[in-house]
């Protein structure tokens, strides 16, 4: 699932290339994932120009010169491509935009769980999930973080990935943030001390900001986004334990614990995450 560091890297890449560029063609081969009728989206985009690409939580917002916004929530498997038109299309390409600069911007989605909207800027809050989203995880202040977390008594990992609490953190980076903060993902929030809440808040900024330039370095001239997770420290790093180094906590060497309650893989170090 694309999370804040992934989407920020994609956004930075596109903002260097598409701002002010005209859209000359729009194909919508899989209308199913459009929440605004696909033909209306295509009609609105053709002849329009891109403004800045923005992000809120796990949504990318492609602003347009005429005050409309193409809003994409890639959910689990949404992938962006910015390539020459003769580059092979990915399976399940849902949207392909021909640009006046000779490139194509595409969106593909293996499991078709993503959602695409096209609205006037004033109607962005009418998008389901948008209005209920908490503050962005990169923008929330420590004071607001402490206020908001009091309303959530459950397991801390579930709280971090709850977009009504703060937006933009998914399963992978939640594991990384909790590792950075040395907190066990199954701890109840009610058992966390003030100092631990502070450590958790700082770990969000540290972990997300550290990953952004690493991801950004993967995109040179083309964007053909796969999930890059090599740089993560614990999430899905459990390994099979055959190799002495593989699957070990980078801090203390304990074998990383990996379990999947509710089909969601959670990885953590049982020694240094208390
Ligand atoms: Zn450890």
Tell me the pTM. 0.93
Q: How far is the CA of 49 from the centre of ligand 1 (A)?
A: 50
Least confident of 164-173, 198-207, 244-253: 244-253
Distance of alpha carbon 70 from alpha carbon 124, whole angstroms: 10
Per-residue pLDDT, 100: 98
In this structure, what CATH number is given to the domain that contains residue 239? Answer: 1.10.8.50
Q: How far is the CA of 269 from the centre of ligand 1 (A)?
A: 5
Q: How far is the CA of 183 from the centre of ligand 1 (A)?
A: 11
Q: How far is the CA of 266 from the centre of ligand 1 (A)?
A: 15
13-63 pLDDT tens trace: 999 999 999 999 999 999 999 999 999 999 999 999 999 999 999 999 999
Q: Give how many domains the chain has, as a whole number.
A: 2
119-158 pLDDT tens trace: 999 999 999 989 999 999 999 999 999 999 999 999 999 9
Let me know if residue 132 belongs to a domain. Answer: no
Q: Are 149 and 195 contained in the same domain?
A: yes
Per-residue pLDDT, 243: 60
Tell me what the pLDDT averaged over the chain comes to. 94
Supply the angle between the helices 142-149 and 194-216 in degrees, to the nearest 10.
120
Let me know if residue 137 belongs to a domain. Answer: no
**Separation of CA 258 from chain center:** 22
Q: How far is the CA of 236 from the centre of ligand 1 (A)?
A: 15
Let me know if residue 219 belongs to a domain. Answer: yes
SS (H, E, C) 187-230: CEHHHCCHHHHHHHHHHHHHHHHHHHHHHHCCCCCCEECCCCCC
Distance of alpha carbon 118 from alpha carbon 173, whole angstroms: 29
Distance of alpha carbon 242 from alpha carbon 227, whole angstroms: 25
Let me know if residue 156 belongs to a domain. Answer: yes
Distance of alpha carbon 231 from alpha carbon 227, whole angstroms: 11
Give every strand in the sheet of 115-120, ordered side by side: 50-56, 59-64, 68-73, 115-120
Q: How far is the CA of 188 from the centre of ligand 1 (A)?
A: 20
Q: Is-contact 87 81, C-beta < 8 A? A: yes
Q: How far is the CA of 185 from the centre of ligand 1 (A)?
A: 13
Domain of 83 in residue numbering reads as 4-126
Let me know if residue 133 belongs to a domain. Answer: no
Which residue in this structure is represented by tokens 């020694």? Answer: 271
Per-residue pLDDT, 219: 77
Supply the angle between the helices 194-216 and 4-15 in degrees, to the nearest 10.
40
């Amino acid at each position: 699932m694309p999370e804040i560091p992934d989407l920020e890297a994609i956004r930075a890449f596109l903002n260097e290339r598409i701002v002010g560029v005209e859209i000359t063609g729009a194909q919508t081969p899989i209308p199913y994932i459009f929440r605004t009728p696909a033909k209306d989206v295509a009609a609105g985009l053709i002849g329009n120009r891109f403004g800045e690409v923005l992000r809120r939580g796990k949504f990318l917002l492609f602003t347009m010169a005429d005050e409309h916004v193409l809003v994409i929530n890639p959910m689990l498997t949404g992938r962006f491509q910015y390539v020459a038109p003769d580059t092979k299309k990915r399976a399940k390409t849902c949207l392909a935009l021909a640009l006046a600069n000779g490139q194509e911007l595409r969106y593909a989605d293996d499991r078709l769980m993503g959602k695409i909207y096209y609205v006037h800027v004033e109607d962005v809050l009418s998008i389901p999930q948008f209005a209920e989203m908490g503050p962005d995880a990169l923008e929330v202040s420590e004071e607001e973080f402490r206020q908001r977390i009091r309303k959530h008594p459950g397991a801390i990992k579930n709280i971090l990935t709850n977009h009504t609490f703060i937006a933009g953190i998914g399963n992978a980076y939640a594991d990384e943030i909790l590792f950075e903060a040395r907190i066990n993902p199954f701890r109840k929030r009610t058992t966390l001390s003030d100092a631990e809440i502070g450590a958790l808040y700082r770990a969000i900024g540290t972990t997300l900001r550290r990953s952004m330039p690493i991801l950004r370095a993967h995109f040179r001239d083309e964007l053909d986004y796969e999930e890059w997770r090599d740089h993560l420290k614990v999430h899905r790093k459990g390994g099979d334990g055959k190799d002495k180094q593989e699957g070990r906590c980078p801090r203390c060497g304990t074998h990383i614990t990996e379990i999947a309650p509710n089909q969601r893989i959670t990885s953590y170090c049982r020694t240094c995450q208390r």
